[in-house]
């Protein structure tokens, strides 16, 4: 997948999995130019997601669900992922 397609693919997977009330995905790959993970073509991303699906889940459980939704992208397209995952009642 081309780098410019990745943000859209990440957004699509997260919207499908969590029906979020709010979602922001930022490509921060340019901040990591020269890092080992950046050299292999995978990117660095930041995700902020608010979803009722996270209600009652711990931070670790929320992160695991996000990783699961992104599945093989974690092996092929994403080197690093910063996650802020909130339930509606957290805000």
CATH of the domain at 78: 3.30.300.90
* Residue 60 DSSP class: H
Q: Give the domain extent around 20.
A: 3-90
Residues 17, 51: Cα–Cα separation, whole Å:
10
pTM for this predicted structure: 0.90
Residue 6 host element (H or E): helix 3-18
Task: State the total domains in the chain.
Answer: 1
Give me the torsion for CA of 60, 61, 64, 69, rounded to 10°: -140
Per-residue model confidence (pLDDT) at position 73:
96
User: Mean pLDDT score of the chain, rounded to an integer?
Assistant: 92
Please tell me which residue, 15 or 38, carries the higher pLDDT value: 15
Ranking 21-25, 28-32, 38-42, 84-88 by mean pLDDT, the lowest is: 38-42
Provide the pLDDT confidence category of residue 37 given band limits of 50, 70 and 90: low
pLDDT at 51 over 70: yes
Residues 71, 68: Cα–Cα separation, whole Å:
5
CB atoms within 10 A of CB 24: 12
């Amino acid at each position: 997948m081309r780098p410019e397609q990745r943000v859209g693919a990440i957004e699509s997977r997260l919207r499908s999995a969590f029906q979020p009330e709010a979602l922001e995905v930022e490509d921060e790959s340019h901040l990591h130019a020269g890092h080992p993970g950046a050299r292999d073509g995978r990117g660095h991303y930041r995700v902020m997601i608010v979803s009722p699906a996270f209600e009652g889940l711990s931070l670790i459980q929320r992160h695991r669900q996000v990783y699961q939704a992104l599945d093989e992208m974690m092996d092929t397209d994403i080197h690093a992922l910063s996650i802020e995952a909130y339930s509606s009642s957290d805000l």
